[in-house]
Structure 1
Amino acid sequence: MFILAMKQIQKSVNSYFGYVQKKSRKDEELGALIISLDFELNWGVHDVFTIENYGENILGARLAIPKILQLFQKYDIHATWAIVGMLYCKDKQELLSFLESIEIPYENETLSAKYNLSNVGANEQEDLYHYGDSLINMIKKIPNQEIGTHTFSHYYCLEKGQRIEHFEKDLQAMVELNEGVTSLVFPRNQVNLDYLQLCDEYGITAYRGNENSWIYGPYIKEMNTTIKRMLRLADHYINITGHNSYKLEKVSTHPIINVPSSRFLRPYSSKLRILERLRLQRIKHSLTEAAKNNEYYHLWWHPHNFGKNTEKNLQFLEEILQHVEYLKGKYKFQSMHMRDVVGLINLNKTN
């Protein structure tokens, strides 16, 4: 375990030094946009939607990913792809072999990946909803894209019935993929602070925390009240909770580094299209404030959020990235993924 931890530290430092090379000390203090994507395909929604009513989004995600990557290359964007480990499996036999070692005893068994196995096909050629190895390889070929983890089985860390020893089995399966991941995004943002020490033991150096507001705190379905949902929706269009950007010295670093979310990139909605400019201005204003104040702004979404209305969502994303390009020229605003942030924090500790 010690050797594994040392490898992760070295990888984090190497990643950051590649990013920060030739920068002055002053530049290191500048703000940045952080992007993370929760790459899960149907494993992230099988307990909420059916293939019949959400399958178009899942298939659309496969078409959206290469276009997102093109935009990232065009604007030199660093991003963390938090990938559900099951997407790596080449076929159902390999998937079953991995899941055999993982116990997922939620009281609500429909949440478990194992509950969905009857809907899983033989391989990626036959089932585009549950396998993603070809897409993962595509992501790896693009510069400045970090491969992170969304756990192996899309494991929910706050649901009733699960315990830390079950989560550890999931982490072990993730390590077996041999990707050397150091960044974790908790599925459904169910951050369990009691599990962070265990994450550290398995080489995880950073996780994406939630916004600092009671409407965004980690929750299970029963706690997701109507008033919270309404306020979160409104917050996408008008400033209710603030900009949610932050200084690095303010983030928690023990036992691993919290790289908090600032904003979920809500997908285009035809019902709310009249409010699209407000949604864009909300994000652009927050980015400007982050750039002016040398703060960090963490934007995230799922590829399947772009699975419908793909071109409208891509156009919206490009307008954001164009604004980041403008801020880069005016304030030297940067682009980072989660491993970059860890590298910067570790570098600052030594200075």
Structure 2
Amino acid sequence: MREGDARNSGGFVLSLDFELMWGVNGTRTIDQHGEHVLGARQVIPRLLDLFEQHGIGCTWATVGFLFCHDRDELLSSLPQIRPAYVDRKLSNYAYLDQVGADERRDPYHFAPSLISRIAERPRQEIGTHTLSHYYCLEDGQTAEAFRADLDAALKLGSAAGHRIRSIVFPRNQVSNEALGVCRDAGVTIYRGAGRPAGGLGVPRSRDSRLRRVIRLADSYVEMGPRAEPSVETHAGMVDVPASLFLRPFSRRMAAGERFKIQRILAAMRRAAQRGGLFHLWFHPENFGVDQERNLGMMATIAKEAARLRELHGWPSLNMAEAAAVAISATGASAQRLESASAR
């Protein structure tokens, strides 16, 4: 049962799934995706400048392996219990032999220097995307394996000086069992799947072509009812649900770029007028090519968020900030959430 619904505690929330190669192993190689990863390393400092210029808070949901400085640290961080997916291609543990010596020699799998640069900037929250890009709904995974994966990710984050409170589940594969593991670990804020239009949150085997087509269409034309999601508290957790995935510039879909931006700006304005939530998310690696077009698109969104903040008092928030506002607005389970976070 939902304990609290903060419909008047909205804002513009931004979260990024920060993965480099760890998000695509099994589907793409460095030859296929390396340009995106190296480009992301150029784009991220520029995104940080843009966010600071326009007062944009952001949660960077970071794959735990990226905290490692070198291969030795990565191998020593591995948990004893690991996912035993039926589809073995899903496990990043199967690709450890491809990892290089350190960040300088392997910029595709390590990113401690980037994480430090992110954390130095105002209101940039370091969250977790699990240690190994863990899938919580795939056949063969267990609560014990997820707990071991999450604990290892939090240990690496803590060693780097970060108290991690927010999680984004890879492919938005959320389950009540996984939420219980997170709560026990003190990670009490998560990005829920949000909009039902072709949404994620299913095993890959059930992510049909129709669902993918609906998700694609929803980026350009609003599918389903025009309603803002709301931050909700339940069972010691805070759900800061997703509103929309920001697709990168596509030459194939260039004719639709204008509609995509209009769709986002219209949803932001509507949410600001109603005091609602608009939670945008994307992968920085997707901005690694066509960088100027993608950064220009994000600049348009950031400027509009700043304008709406001035016009309506509609804040820009990272996930932890959005959760804090919701807890303050509803008064629901604040003490229990703080107790869980302190464990």
Query: TM-score, with normalisation over the residues of structure 1?
Result: 0.88
Does residue 1:80 correspond to 2:63, yes or no? no
Counterpart secondary structure, 2:28: coil
2:207 matched to which residue of 1? 224
Does residue 1:332 correspond to 2:313, yes or no? yes
2:270 matched to which residue of 1? 289
Does residue 1:70 correspond to 2:49, yes or no? yes
Does residue 1:348 correspond to 2:329, yes or no? yes
Does residue 1:237 correspond to 2:205, yes or no? no
Distance in 2 (CA, whole Å) between partners of 1:246 and 1:188 is: 19
Q: Per-residue deviation at 1:190? A: 0.9
What pairs up with 1:1-351 in 2 under 5 angstroms? Answer: 29=8, 31-177=10-156, 178=158, 179-213=162-196, 215-243=198-226, 245-248=228-231, 251-350=232-331
Distance in 2 (CA, whole Å) between partners of 1:129 and 1:247 is: 36
Identity across the alignment (%) = 39
Q: Is the contact between residue 196 and residue 255 of structure 1 (CA under 8 Å) also seen in structure 2?
A: no
Distance in 2 (CA, whole Å) between partners of 1:244 and 1:107 is: 38
Per-residue Cα deviation, 1:30-56 (whole angstroms, up to 9, x for no partner): 531000001110001111111111110
Q: Per-residue deviation at 1:348? A: 2.5
Counterpart secondary structure, 2:125: strand
Distance in 2 (CA, whole Å) between partners of 1:229 and 1:29 is: 32
Q: Per-residue deviation at 1:331? A: 1.1
Counterpart secondary structure, 1:123: coil
Q: Per-residue deviation at 1:349? A: 3.9
Distance in 1 (CA, whole Å) between partners of 2:229 and 2:94 is: 40
Per-residue Cα deviation, 1:80-120 (whole angstroms, up to 9, x for no partner): 01111100111111111112534121111121111111211
Counterpart secondary structure, 2:222: coil
Counterpart secondary structure, 2:279: strand
Q: Is the contact between residue 81 and residue 144 of structure 2 (CA under 8 Å) also seen in structure 1?
A: no
Q: Is the contact between residue 205 and residue 342 of structure 1 (CA under 8 Å) also seen in structure 2?
A: no
Distance in 2 (CA, whole Å) between partners of 1:331 and 1:310 is: 31
Q: Per-residue deviation at 1:224? A: 1.3
Distance in 2 (CA, whole Å) between partners of 1:247 and 1:221 is: 27
Q: Per-residue deviation at 1:214? A: 5.2
Per-residue Cα deviation, 1:119-161 (whole angstroms, up to 9, x for no partner): 1101001101000000000001101101100001111111111
Q: Per-residue deviation at 1:243? A: 4.5
Change in CA separation of 1:273 and 1:161 when aligned onto 2, cut-off 3 Å: same
Q: Per-residue deviation at 1:252? A: 4.2
Q: Per-residue deviation at 1:184? A: 0.4
Counterpart secondary structure, 2:78: helix
Distance in 2 (CA, whole Å) between partners of 1:188 and 1:29 is: 28
Distance in 1 (CA, whole Å) between partners of 2:215 and 2:123 is: 31
Distance in 2 (CA, whole Å) between partners of 1:164 and 1:247 is: 28
Where do 5+ consecutive residues of structure 2 fail to align? 1-6, 333-343
Query: TM-score, with normalisation over the residues of structure 2?
Result: 0.90
Distance in 1 (CA, whole Å) between partners of 2:180 and 2:170 is: 18
Change in CA separation of 1:148 and 1:100 when aligned onto 2, cut-off 3 Å: closer
Distance in 2 (CA, whole Å) between partners of 1:125 and 1:94 is: 15
| Code of the aligned partner of 1:54 | H
Distance in 1 (CA, whole Å) between partners of 2:56 and 2:130 is: 24
Q: Is the contact between residue 10 and residue 322 of structure 2 (CA under 8 Å) also seen in structure 1?
A: no
Where do 5+ consecutive residues of structure 1 fail to align? 1-27
Q: Per-residue deviation at 1:232? A: 1.1
Alignment RMSD, CA only? 1.6
Q: Per-residue deviation at 1:338? A: 0.7
Q: Per-residue deviation at 1:172? A: 1.4
Q: Is the contact between residue 30 and residue 332 of structure 1 (CA under 8 Å) also seen in structure 2?
A: no
